[in-house]
Structure 1
């Protein structure tokens, strides 16, 4: 793969970092997979978002406790028109090519992120207009009063309008095909780090941007980041133990205890804002990846209930996840507004009852189906799928596990090219509407439903989901959220498995806490004395 470099004098100058920095430090960062693109609006995956947070910035950020804080916007408020939010922009910010940041870039970025090829168009569906008021003020008008709009913007990156136009990258890359644009392999953000070199699936180097606006406001002790995707878990852990890498973000559950016992290392742990679940195609007349012809067994509620009864979540937690998961009955964790403990329940495994339900549905001998699964994204993802296949075999369902890299898996889900799949979902807005917009709303209608690969469509539920973006009364909005969750739980087209627990492992000189969003901002990371930290 061709080595890609930013051909600007600013990048060349960044090699000469200040020698007087108290903690001038390179951090070698390893994950299980590499982002397929640098285009900030083409993919909505944590792997891409966390990677790009180093070089691009949104208007607002979220702290670990869920609060909003200023980023490229210094303040925001609803205007006299309750459908209009106004954002005051940070002065003195420059892009990596030296161009000044301003309102034109925000207007362009929001419009770009609403394009048909954008993975963020669902998130921005309520936004009907974005307009420049002056050089450092923008307004976003929504289809109705929107109580949570700023919360939807924490991962919505701002790009340079002139740079995008000059390089014919006005539209986000269409990752469903093989097309690329200039933003696929190049960047021009305002973030603390800028791209120096990139070799796809091998190595990416970022160095601190000399003109970063946040100097003096953030530690900025990490001066260079070397990102290395290491797909194999054992190799990733071995690289940490040998000192080849400094920080591993995707730690296999089976290695946590061993790493915690190593005095040279530090392991941090926490519950992620993410639920791992199974998706069941209820909308197709006939499944594409099943041996049942002429009908769809997953469209029958009895079959879906049989699947749910076959799953042994406690065994998943103990045998597969080594205790590093929280069994779940709903596809949202406790961080998210609208979560109710009453919904977060699940039945005890009952294979006999499950077989009876399959027989009642017309499948006394079970049937065959493919379970599509990522193999480099979630903690023990492929192993989870293998365990699920074993649980379903007990009730006569013959499952073939088809594991693949997350880039291929996510593309298939975005194209609804799967019948039965494992996926993980988070709500970076910390609000249930995000989950409904992407996973429950009818696919493609009003820009929503882009991750609804199950074919579910309910006009009444669609109307309820759309109303959440315009309801001014918090009590009425909460009642609608409750009603939607009731339907989702009753229909059973998603089977929650567990809320994911994350572990980060690192050399002792680092202390990076687990973020509920599984996001790291290296500008905030402090580098200490490994001996003093013991």
Structure 2
């Protein structure tokens, strides 16, 4: 047999094998209201983004089925001194392109995550430097003691130094500036799934990584992630069988989906709290009829906004009961939650009007409110309800509700006066709220998502103390004090803890993490 004939037969054999795989592959079809804005794991600290790319890229420390810490690209870790942690890296791991994973990739990923354009600075902000002991041993040298460092690493994903340098992707995709690079559309991780085809905001197809270093408990070989923004269309796709899993289930459709014998609804409290933020730094708001001053610098105005919002009506009418009103920015499931601070200020329109008048704004004013309409559960409808509430105290809201692809770059640039945000404490610890949300914006990711620049020196001081305190009782007292100060300042306007609502076919087993994460390696489709 000549070489040419052998080659043709080999190609035919490869094609038949590929066709056979496609025909027999266990495929999971997901319908989601939004898409990952980029495949770059350092570009956006947003839970949907992280849950999608977290199936392709991996951190040093991960979470197991029960959301407990577990080894990932690090096999183990320990403190060798109060400010030094030694991590042993997993040997034999390859990126999807076959390049070995080593300490150099960790050091590169650190520099990338702390650099310009990164949305992940708060996850590496405690690190002073990384010392390479050998290719699979590194020491993290910290600025100060930080006993929960491993918990912080679960969302910091490792990238290939070689691949990023080859593809001119050494810096993160910067959504604030509209800067893209190869990491926006292509991916090279170590995770259990590879990106096969990418159509942003339409569909992305993933295939199982045949060279994955770890165990994949599920049987899914292919994932088709479909973006279906319209709630009715997404529900129809599930009911017709076009998708196997969908999230979120619109709260108004939960009962309808539950009534279908072929489907099941998976519900649970999410670690996320939805809140409103206000520009408290500028001397004049960017988007307001008030000129020459900033009303939000006055606590009375902030409190008036708070007390004008009918949170129970939002819970019952907008959220159909699938929300728990909150008085602080962390839910009961997060370590540091203070039950004695859980009571909200009363909804009281007359009291709010008096506060506005006392502050010199009795006649009200106009204000633009920025809001996403495809990120959180009924986010656009919540903002409409808030706007209607505030009209009762003379505040005319010019609501700008838009897709998160436009929304996040804008508010992350702080081009906003009044905005909605949701925050999940991925470490399940209050520090992950104090540091990025309630601290004065500064270096190392401090206050990176405190987009209205709320600032109280005592909160900053307590946040530093909380980071290094090892006595649990003292630490809880410090957290409570910081939360109380922030609450008394009306630093933000807490709304509610939203519930997770997923729906699947009954033959599907999956893991629903409380941060709304869906790890595909645990998904199993039964016949």
Q: Normalized against structure 2, the TM-score is what?
A: 0.93
After superposition, the Cα gap between the structure-2 partners of 1:16 and 1:46, relative to the gap in structure 1 and judged at 3 Å, is: farther
**Structure 2 residue matching 1:399: 3-state secondary structure:** strand
1:200 aligns with 2:200: yes
- Tell me the equivalent position of 1:62: 63
Per the TM alignment, residue 369 of structure 1 is displaced from its structure 2 partner at its CA by 1.2
Cα distance in 2 for partners of 1:17, 1:76 equals 41
1:142 aligns with 2:142: yes
- Tell me the equivalent position of 1:115: 115
Per the TM alignment, residue 450 of structure 1 is displaced from its structure 2 partner at its CA by 1.2
Cα distance in 2 for partners of 1:220, 1:98 equals 23
Per the TM alignment, residue 476 of structure 1 is displaced from its structure 2 partner at its CA by 3.2
Cα distance in 2 for partners of 1:334, 1:288 equals 35
Cα distance in 2 for partners of 1:365, 1:144 equals 50
Cα distance in 1 for partners of 2:447, 2:124 equals 12
- Tell me the equivalent position of 2:330: 332
Write out aligned runs for 1:70-469 (5 A): 70-79=71-80, 81-214=81-214, 217-469=215-467
Worse overlay, 400-409 or 141-150:
400-409
**Structure 2 residue matching 1:123: 3-state secondary structure:** helix
Cα distance in 1 for partners of 2:19, 2:520 equals 18
Cα distance in 2 for partners of 1:332, 1:311 equals 19
Listed one character per residue, the Cα deviations across residues 452-487 of structure 1 (whole Å, up to 9, x for unaligned) are 111222333323323333334433333322221111
**Structure 1 residue matching 2:306: 3-state secondary structure:** helix
Cα distance in 2 for partners of 1:25, 1:63 equals 23
Per the TM alignment, residue 63 of structure 1 is displaced from its structure 2 partner at its CA by 3.6
**Structure 2 residue matching 1:506: 3-state secondary structure:** strand
Cα distance in 2 for partners of 1:410, 1:62 equals 27
After superposition, the Cα gap between the structure-2 partners of 1:14 and 1:351, relative to the gap in structure 1 and judged at 3 Å, is: farther
Cα distance in 2 for partners of 1:106, 1:443 equals 26
Maintained 8 Å contact 1:219/1:524: yes
Per the TM alignment, residue 229 of structure 1 is displaced from its structure 2 partner at its CA by 0.9
Cα distance in 1 for partners of 2:15, 2:425 equals 35
Maintained 8 Å contact 1:329/1:343: yes
After superposition, the Cα gap between the structure-2 partners of 1:63 and 1:395, relative to the gap in structure 1 and judged at 3 Å, is: farther
- Tell me the equivalent position of 1:9: none
**Structure 2 residue matching 1:221: 3-state secondary structure:** coil
Cα distance in 2 for partners of 1:453, 1:15 equals 54
After superposition, the Cα gap between the structure-2 partners of 1:392 and 1:200, relative to the gap in structure 1 and judged at 3 Å, is: same
Q: Normalized against structure 1, the TM-score is what?
A: 0.92
Maintained 8 Å contact 1:125/1:447: yes
Maintained 8 Å contact 2:121/2:444: no
Cα distance in 2 for partners of 1:395, 1:453 equals 25
After superposition, the Cα gap between the structure-2 partners of 1:428 and 1:336, relative to the gap in structure 1 and judged at 3 Å, is: same
Per the TM alignment, residue 285 of structure 1 is displaced from its structure 2 partner at its CA by 1.2
Cα distance in 2 for partners of 1:400, 1:218 equals 49
Listed one character per residue, the Cα deviations across residues 484-523 of structure 1 (whole Å, up to 9, x for unaligned) are 1111101102111110101101122213343211001111
After superposition, the Cα gap between the structure-2 partners of 1:20 and 1:164, relative to the gap in structure 1 and judged at 3 Å, is: closer
**Structure 2 residue matching 1:469: 3-state secondary structure:** helix
Q: Which runs of 5+ in 1 are unaligned?
A: 1-12, 530-534
Per the TM alignment, residue 274 of structure 1 is displaced from its structure 2 partner at its CA by 0.2
Cα distance in 2 for partners of 1:401, 1:236 equals 25
Per the TM alignment, residue 321 of structure 1 is displaced from its structure 2 partner at its CA by 0.5
Per the TM alignment, residue 401 of structure 1 is displaced from its structure 2 partner at its CA by 1.4
Cα distance in 1 for partners of 2:162, 2:443 equals 32
Maintained 8 Å contact 1:103/1:132: yes
Cα distance in 1 for partners of 2:376, 2:457 equals 33
Cα distance in 2 for partners of 1:52, 1:41 equals 10
Per the TM alignment, residue 34 of structure 1 is displaced from its structure 2 partner at its CA by 1.4
Per the TM alignment, residue 145 of structure 1 is displaced from its structure 2 partner at its CA by 1.4
The structure that is helix-richer by fraction is 2
Cα distance in 2 for partners of 1:478, 1:64 equals 27
User: Which residue of 450, 472, 475 maps to 1:474?
Assistant: 472
Cα distance in 1 for partners of 2:282, 2:218 equals 51
Maintained 8 Å contact 1:193/1:206: yes
Cα distance in 2 for partners of 1:313, 1:15 equals 59
Length, aligned pairs only: 514
Maintained 8 Å contact 1:277/1:495: yes
Maintained 8 Å contact 2:447/2:453: no
After superposition, the Cα gap between the structure-2 partners of 1:392 and 1:442, relative to the gap in structure 1 and judged at 3 Å, is: same
Cα distance in 1 for partners of 2:289, 2:466 equals 40
Maintained 8 Å contact 2:123/2:155: no
Maintained 8 Å contact 1:143/1:469: no
